[in-house]
A and B are shown apart, each in its own frame.
Chain A
Amino acid sequence: MADVNETINGLLSELRRGTIIIGVLSQLSEPQYGYSLVPILEEKGVAVDPGTLYPLLRRLEKQELLESTWDTNEARPRKYYVLSPFGREVYAGLRREWRKLVVSMEGIMEEG
């Protein structure tokens, strides 16, 4: 028989995948570079590994949710990402949808 914890973990990582995007967008009203986001998110209980975060940031930029600038003043050049006006709007919409989702999921699980 499959291990309960293992199965839960597998399903959970599937669930988390989408929430990471909201987590990232929520932290980018101020410019951040990729690696500075990792501890911020982790502290708030949204663990994400850099190997996932970096490509994700790039994808969100390609979707025009984020804007990026290279800061070359520091010891090593870093790419800073910040929400674009479009991204801000999308994030606000996502927040509303997420709240609705939580309510309906709560409702469903209460019934069960």
Chain B
Amino acid sequence: MEIIERYIYAVTQRLPEKMRADIKQELHGLILDMLEERESPGQASKENVESVLLELGHPNTLAAKYRGYERYLISPFLFDSYLTILKVVMFSIAIGMTVVFAIDTITSPNEILEHFIDYFANLIIAGAQGFGWVTIVFAMIDYRQQKDTLSSGDKNLKWKPSDLPHIPDVNKQIKMSEPITGIIFTVLFTVICLYSIELVGVWRFDGGDRTVIPFLNADVFQNYLPFVWILAALGILNQSVRIIVRQRTAKLLVFHIVISVVTTVLLCVMLADPAILNPDFIQQLQAAGVMSDIGKDYDTVISIWNGISDWLIIIIVFFALIDIISETYKWYRTKTTV
């Protein structure tokens, strides 16, 4: 009776390891019992076996009944937030890509066809990436939640009515525009870093000609692409959680601060590498005729350029601090107004 074994296998494969042996034995006995009822023992016909298995139902359904809960990658509970964030991410990827396409087309209009093909290909690649990351992040959040509810043995998610978000209190609620803007900027930042880092620099238009003197060394920057991905994932994770929670809480604040600190550290590590800067920046500036070889301007530019990494790090840390302080203040204000 190979078909019986196949059925049992199909059911038990979908069950937790420790339940399998027991259910296998039990199902085996059940199927033989059901067969016996239909005919004299020892001569089970193929039709009877099939009718018994059909009566037991689809292996997936039976396994789900045994498991006692449904399995989701993203449960209905989170699905709405998931869709919202997915839309925002997709939308910002489209905007980001279109901006890059527009810039490329303006700067070198002759290669418009090439740009368009790039645009199209990048749109698909970045779209798939965005979709993947959002889904992974949500699947992880969902997995955590499912584990929590299973371990507490409670089928309903625990909640207190006092946890309910307060309506229209503008101070307490996180405005939807904040995380959405955050995600759009994160995606823009990522798109530029991944596809057009050489466009970040000093622009010079001379008649119809355009020259860009990049700040960064694109070859060295390539090595830091994993950083960019981590920064993007952290940024999107942070904003996604804000969209889900939509309310300033102490936990959310701590989460935000941790992510801000990690982000700042990563950015500083990147900038602290002197090789990441364009080594020929000054020469290229001169070659492009942006500035003269000597004089006061020259000295000023040189001194700024030499200290640029330190300055950028100071600025980034400064803004991170302002952000953390302002988030803490906003949280504190909601707490005291209750």
What residues make up the interface of A, taking CB atoms closer than 8 Å to B?
33-35, 49-52, 54-56, 58-59, 62, 70, 76-79
Q: Once the chains are docked, how many angstroms separate the CA of A13 from the CA of B196?
A: 61
Across-interface contacts of A51 in B (CB, < 8 A): 55-57, 61-62, 65
Q: Once the chains are docked, how many angstroms separate the CA of A97 from the CA of B57?
A: 33
Across-interface contacts of A56 in B (CB, < 8 A): 65
Per CB-CB distance, the 10 closest pairs between chain A and chain B, nearest first, are A55-B65, A35-B33, A51-B56, A55-B66, A51-B57, A76-B29, A79-B26, A51-B62, A78-B29, A35-B30
A44 shortest CB reach to chain B, Å: 18
Q: A50-B34, A55-B66 are in contact. Are A34 and B55 (CB under 8 A)?
A: no
A34, A52, A70, A76: the one within 8 Å of B65 (CB): A52
A35-B30, A78-B29, A79-B26 are known contacts; what are 17 more A-B pairs with Cβ within 8 Å? A33-B29, A35-B29, A49-B55, A50-B34, A50-B55, A51-B56, A51-B65, A52-B65, A54-B26, A54-B66, A55-B62, A55-B65, A56-B65, A76-B28, A77-B29, A79-B22, A79-B25
Closest chain A residue to B67 by CB distance? A55
What residues make up the interface of B, taking CB atoms closer than 8 Å to A?
22-23, 25-30, 32-34, 55-57, 61-62, 65-66, 68
Across-interface contacts of B55 in A (CB, < 8 A): 49-51
Closest chain B residue to A36 by CB distance? B33
Across-interface contacts of A79 in B (CB, < 8 A): 22, 25-26, 29
Give the interface centre of A34, A49, A54, A59 by most chain B CB atoms within 10 Å.
A54
Closest chain B residue to A39 by CB distance? B37
A84 shortest CB reach to chain B, Å: 18
Q: Once the chains are docked, how many angstroms separate the CA of A85 from the CA of B23?
A: 25
Q: Once the chains are docked, how many angstroms separate the CA of A54 from the CA of B34?
A: 13
Q: Would you call the interface of chain B mostly helix, strand, loop, or mixed? A: helix
Could you name 16 residue pairs across A and B whose Cβ atoms are closer than 8 Å?
Answer: A34-B26, A35-B30, A35-B33, A35-B34, A50-B55, A50-B56, A51-B56, A52-B65, A54-B30, A54-B66, A55-B62, A56-B65, A59-B68, A62-B68, A70-B25, A78-B29
Q: Is the CB of A77 within 8 A of B25?
A: yes
Give the interface centre of B34, B55, B66 by most chain A CB atoms within 10 Å.
B66
Q: Once the chains are docked, how many angstroms separate the CA of A52 from the CA of B28?
A: 16
Give the interface centre of B22, B27, B30 by most chain A CB atoms within 10 Å.
B30
Across-interface contacts of B66 in A (CB, < 8 A): 54-55, 58
Across-interface contacts of A77 in B (CB, < 8 A): 25, 29
Give the interface centre of B29, B32, B66 by most chain A CB atoms within 10 Å.
B29
Q: Is the CB of B68 within 8 A of A55?
A: yes
Q: Once the chains are docked, how many angstroms separate the CA of A87 from the CA of B233?
A: 50
Across-interface contacts of A52 in B (CB, < 8 A): 65
Q: Is the CB of A54 within 8 A of B33?
A: no
Across-interface contacts of A55 in B (CB, < 8 A): 62, 65-66, 68
Across-interface contacts of B22 in A (CB, < 8 A): 79
B242 shortest CB reach to chain A, Å: 38
A34, A59, A70: the one within 8 Å of B30 (CB): A34
Closest chain A residue to B32 by CB distance? A76
Q: Once the chains are docked, how many angstroms separate the CA of A33 from the CA of B225?
A: 62
Across-interface contacts of A78 in B (CB, < 8 A): 29
B38 shortest CB reach to chain A, Å: 13
Q: Once the chains are docked, how many angstroms separate the CA of A56 from the CA of B57?
A: 15
Across-interface contacts of B57 in A (CB, < 8 A): 49, 51
Closest chain B residue to A34 by CB distance? B30
Q: Once the chains are docked, how many angstroms separate the CA of A33 from the CA of B32?
A: 13
B16 shortest CB reach to chain A, Å: 12
Closest chain B residue to A76 by CB distance? B29
Across-interface contacts of B33 in A (CB, < 8 A): 35
Q: Once the chains are docked, how many angstroms separate the CA of A55 from the CA of B28?
A: 14
Q: Is the CB of A54 within 8 A of B27?
A: yes
Across-interface contacts of B25 in A (CB, < 8 A): 70, 77, 79
Q: Once the chains are docked, how many angstroms separate the CA of A54 from the CA of B28?
A: 12
Across-interface contacts of A34 in B (CB, < 8 A): 26, 30
Across-interface contacts of A33 in B (CB, < 8 A): 29
Across-interface contacts of B34 in A (CB, < 8 A): 35, 50
